[in-house]
Amino acid sequence: MSGDIYLDNAATSWPKPPAVLEAMQEFLATAGGGPGRAGHHRSIASSRVVSLARESLAELLGAESPDELVFTKNATEALNLAILGLAAGVDRIVTTSLEHNSVMRPLRALEQDGRCAVDVVYADGRTGEVDLDEWAARVRAPGRCLAVAVHACNVTGVLLPVETMAAIAADARVPLVVDAAQSAGHVTLTVASLGAAAVAMPGHKGLLGPMGTGVLYLAPGVEIEPLLRGGTGSRSESEYQPEFPPDRYESGTLNAIGIAGLGAAADYLRSLGVEQVEARLDALARRFRDGVGDIEGITVHGPPDPTHTVGITSLNVDGVPCATVARLLDDEWGVMTRAGLHCSPAAHRSLGTAPEGTLRFSWSHTTTEEEIDVAVEAVRTIAARERRPEPARTVA
């Protein structure tokens, strides 16, 4: 192996800003008490860290109040909380064909339990186009409905028109849950004006925080059943769950050390500007796409114009299993990518890349041009060396 080039930021971002590590070390060294659990100074120090992080994230995401943000352990928990909560009493859930299993599995479980039907509207993984007439028709159909849509596809990075989809849903008085797993921190997102009932995101991808952190935005007035019930440090005299946010949704001791890191990451992103991150991701996308554009024997997926693809590009080397290409890239060049279906079987069916999947390259704003160039030349070498013609068919 000759290098250490991390191009799997769509799974989890690396490296984190140095301030994230510093905040986590500082938390353990000087705070360390149970957040919201007592009045002694270590508990208060811990509570302050959590509160400041919530405030910084509210600023970053454009929430009207920090109370609209719930800390979770990841985007999956945030999505489960939102979907299972908002699905109470609905007949149908309308979603898209580009969803990750963190959406599809809760939806299919609800369907299997006979609690509601699931309507999947086709979305084009290459262009991000959704048939908005079909989306509107399904959302407006009789009965009580919930809508769920991914903001950016985790296979191609293409963005869906969630603002328009949210407006259609709002017009039909249908709550919309947005999965911002790949877009948060990568594109400017103002949750207060998006019009969605809920927006779920991980803390450890584009938001640059540590693993074990996630955030759910719940719009003002949205009240749902919590996933967990238990101690909150508030209303201790009562055996019933508090009604007020954020305590209603945050039972059990929070991952305050992780939240300390996430808060520092939010401060970093506010200082840098998400639009700067987006511009950098786009510049690297153009460089990567230009670089692989003249390689014979590969298929690049996603939109022809790689602008606004949140730092993700998927490709296949024709005739070579993508897992083999991933192994060669890591073994020989130290280039880390992710091969396969990326927990998004429906998205791969939409792209026509199931069951083999694709090889996903995903960079961050700190990835260098040189690293992109090494990855491009490595793909060129593998394509020239490993590509096999389609095997001849044996006719009996």
Partner 1 sequence: MRWGGVVSFFASEHAMRAERLLQRAGLPARLVPGPREVSPNCGVAVAFVWEQEPEVEQTLNDAKVRFEAIHHFDLDDGLAAAGAAR
Pick the binder of partner 1 from 9, 13, 31, 54 (CB under 8 A). Answer: 54
Return the residue of 7, 10, 23, 50 that touches partner 1, per CB under 8 A: 50
SS3 264: helix
The minimum distance between CB 50 and partner 1, in angstroms, equals 7
Under the binding rule (CB under 8 A), the answer on residue 59 touching partner 1 is: no
186 by DSSP, 3-state: which?
A: coil
The answer to whether 374 and 333 are in contact (CB under 8 A) is yes
Q: Which of residues 203 and 311 has its CB atom nearest to partner 1 in the complex?
A: 203
What x-and-dash track marks residues 225-244 binding partner 1 by CB under 8 A? -------xxxxxx----x-x
6's enclosing H/E stretch is strand 5-6
Closest CA to 262 of 87, 78, 21: 21
247 binds partner 1 (CB under 8 A): yes
Q: Nearer Cβ to partner 1, position 63 or 90?
A: 63
Rounded least distance, CB 55 to partner 1, Å: 7
- Shortest distance, position 39 Cβ to partner 1, whole Å: 3
Nearest distance from C-beta of residue 218 to partner 1, angstroms: 14
* Nearest Cα to Cα of residue 324 among 367, 379, 393, 363: 379
Q: Which of 85, 202, 214, 246 binds partner 1 (CB under 8 A)?
A: 246
Please report whether residue 32 would count as binding partner 1 according to CB under 8 A: no
Q: How far is the CB of 235 from partner 1 (least distance, A)?
A: 6
Q: Which helix (H) or strand (E) holds 328?
A: helix 322-328
Interior CA angle at 189 toward 183 and 193, to 5°? Answer: 140
In angstroms, the Cα distances linking 114 to 96, 232, 353 are 20, 33, 31
Residue 148: count of CB within 10 angstroms of its CB: 28
Residue 116 a catalytic site member? no
**Between 32 and 161, whose beta carbon lies closer to partner 1?**
32
Please report whether residue 36 would count as binding partner 1 according to CB under 8 A. yes
According to the binding rule CB under 8 A, does residue 14 interact with partner 1?
no
Does 252 bind partner 1 (CB under 8 A)? Our answer is: no
Buried/exposed 149-168: b ≥16 CB within 10 Å, e otherwise: bbbbbbbbbbbbbbeebbbb
CB of 36 to partner 1, least distance (A): 4
State how far the alpha carbon of 363 is from the alpha carbons of 88, 341, 372, in Å. Answer: 38, 18, 8
Of these, 1, 14, 22, 40, which contacts partner 1 (CB under 8 A)? 40
β-pairing, 198-202 vs 214-218, is antiparallel
Which residues are tagged catalytic?
A: 343
Using CB under 8 A, list all residues that contact partner 1. Answer: 35-40, 43-44, 47-48, 50-52, 54-55, 65-67, 232-237, 242, 244, 246-247
